[in-house]
């Protein structure tokens, strides 16, 4: 379902419909912004339509927006362009199970919400270990 052509458009409007998304994402957004001191590079794994990638780019971070779904990436690019942060985001299509192109401690911050559990079963432990590996802090 994640690769349906209209998936990016649907996901970009979830917060207009689902109260759990409104509350959860507002909380995550607040916590991210509280913890940006010294953060210059961010890996957003399973980044979807870009809510957090775009937010962090607006606050000066260079973001690697990583997602398996081309429709989600396409929507994220559209939203990043509207937000005037396209130049601060690198869009990468790939599976979280394969982060071999990233060396240890490559990013100041690594975020990944829901995707390691929802989309990588039964490999979620290895995926989480790899996400920790590419972050500078453990």
pLDDT tens per residue, the chain (138 residues)? 556 565 556 666 566 666 677 788 889 999 999 999 999 999 999 999 999 999 999 999 999 999 999 999 999 999 999 999 999 999 999 999 999 999 999 999 999 988 877 778 888 999 999 999 999 975
| SS3 labels along 19-75 | HHHHHHHHHHHHHHHHCCCCCCEEEEECCCCCHHHHHHHHCCCEEEEEECCHHHHHH
* Structure token digits, residue 85: 């942060």
């Amino acid at each position: 379902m994640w690769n349906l052509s209209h998936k990016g458009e649907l996901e970009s409007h979830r917060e207009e419909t689902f109260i759990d998304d409104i509350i959860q994402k507002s909380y995550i957004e607040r916590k991210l912004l509280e913890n940006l001191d010294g953060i210059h590079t961010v890996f957003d794994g399973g980044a979807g339509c870009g809510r957090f990638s775009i937010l962090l780019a607006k606050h000066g971070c260079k973001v690697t927006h990583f997602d398996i779904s081309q429709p989600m990436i396409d929507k994220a690019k559209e939203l990043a362009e509207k937000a005037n942060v396209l130049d601060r985001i690198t869009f990468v299509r790939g599976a979280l199970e394969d982060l071999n192109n990233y060396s240890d401690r490559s990013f100041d911050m690594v975020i990944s919400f829901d995707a390691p559990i929802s989309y990588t079963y039964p490999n979620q432990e290895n995926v989480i270990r790899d996400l920790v590996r590419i972050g500078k802090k453990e």
